[in-house]
């Protein structure tokens, strides 16, 4: 008899680790491109990987997960070290990492919203804020630290994918569906929109300069 059941919790944990690594890799890449040393690379990789979650935890009065579970900082530091040694080889595969980044965006959005759900219950606004801050907080700091305008403000369908995933997650959860199933659907929506936007170069409208 084949057992199709698997631990959705573990599955989301694995995605969480992959998302953390992907975010850390984007931080390490920016640090290397701006001539940072090995320690600066590790620090920026770690900032991008964990700062969104720490900010969320600060707002919700939780002790940051990144401070209590050493797995996160281990993953971001290891990502920084690996990027330091393999950057020239890996930069050709950055497109692959953008896929992980999209996974990270989706996972972090839903993890953030889930934590707000645990703390304050099924309320849309806190879930939205917590999800978006978790997903884009680290990337905003990354771009600010290397003196670029944060990508979420100027380019591509990015934060909007996070919002869409959280809205769907909230809607499904509200209709009584199990939280683990809702999580998977929310992640698929956010990550899927981001991947489609990258593939088809979707952009949102801008003000026409006359």
Alpha carbon 121 to chain centroid distance?
22
- Angle ∠(10,142,66) on CA atoms, nearest 5: 35
Q: How far is the CB of 108 from a copy of itself (least distance, A)?
A: 16
Look at residue 60 and give its three-state secondary structure: coil
The smaller minimum CB distance to a copy of itself, of residues 105 and 184, is found at 105
64: enclosing H helix or E strand = none
In this structure, what token pair is assigned to residue 1? 């008899």
Contacts (CB under 8 A) with a copy of itself, residues 162-201: none
The smaller minimum CB distance to a copy of itself, of residues 32 and 110, is found at 32
Residue 9 backbone zone (phi > 0: left; psi -120 to 50: alpha; other: beta)? alpha
Q: Is 145 in the site for a copy of itself (CB under 8 A)?
A: yes
Q: Is 96 in the site for a copy of itself (CB under 8 A)?
A: no
71: enclosing H helix or E strand = helix 71-90
Q: Is 160 in the site for a copy of itself (CB under 8 A)?
A: yes
Q: Is 129 in the site for a copy of itself (CB under 8 A)?
A: yes
In this structure, what token pair is assigned to residue 178? 């199990």
Q: Is 148 in the site for a copy of itself (CB under 8 A)?
A: yes
Q: How far is the CB of 19 from a copy of itself (least distance, A)?
A: 20
- Maximum CA extent, the chain: 68
Q: How far is the CB of 98 from a copy of itself (least distance, A)?
A: 19
Contacts (CB under 8 A) with a copy of itself, residues 27-86: 31-32, 34-41, 43-44, 54, 57-61, 63-64, 66-68, 70, 73, 84
Give 92's DSSP letter: G
In this structure, what token pair is assigned to residue 191? 């990550």
Residue with tokens 């057992």: 3
| Chain residues in the site for a copy of itself (CB under 8 A) | 31-32, 34-41, 43-44, 54, 57-61, 63-64, 66-68, 70, 73, 84, 87-88, 120, 125-126, 129, 140, 144-150, 152-155, 157, 159-160, 203-207, 210
């Amino acid at each position: 008899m084949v057992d199709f059941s698997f631990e959705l919790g573990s599955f989301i944990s694995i995605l969480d680790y992959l998302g953390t690594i992907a975010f850390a890799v984007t931080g390490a890449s920016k640090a290397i491109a701006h001539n940072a040393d090995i320690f600066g690379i590790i620090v920026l990789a770690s900032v991008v990987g964990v700062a969104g979650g720490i900010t969320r935890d600060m707002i919700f009065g939780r002790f940051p997960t990144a401070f209590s579970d050493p797995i996160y900082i281990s993953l971001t530091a290891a990502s920084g070290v690996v990027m330091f040694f393999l950057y020239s080889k890996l930069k050709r595969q950055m497109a692959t990492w953008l896929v992980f980044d999209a996974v990270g965006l989706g996972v972090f959005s839903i993890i953030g919203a889930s934590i707000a759900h645990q703390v304050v219950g099924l309320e849309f606004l806190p879930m939205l804020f917590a999800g978006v801050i978790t997903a884009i907080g680290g990337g905003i700091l990354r771009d600010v630290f290397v003196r670029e305008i944060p990508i979420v403000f100027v380019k591509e369908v990015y934060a909007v994918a996070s919002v869409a995933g959280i809205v769907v997650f909230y809607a499904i959860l509200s209709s009584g569906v199990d939280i683990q199933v809702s999580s998977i659907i929310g992640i698929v929506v956010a990550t899927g929109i981001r991947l489609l936007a990258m593939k088809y170069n979707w952009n949102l409208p801008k003000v026409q300069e006359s």
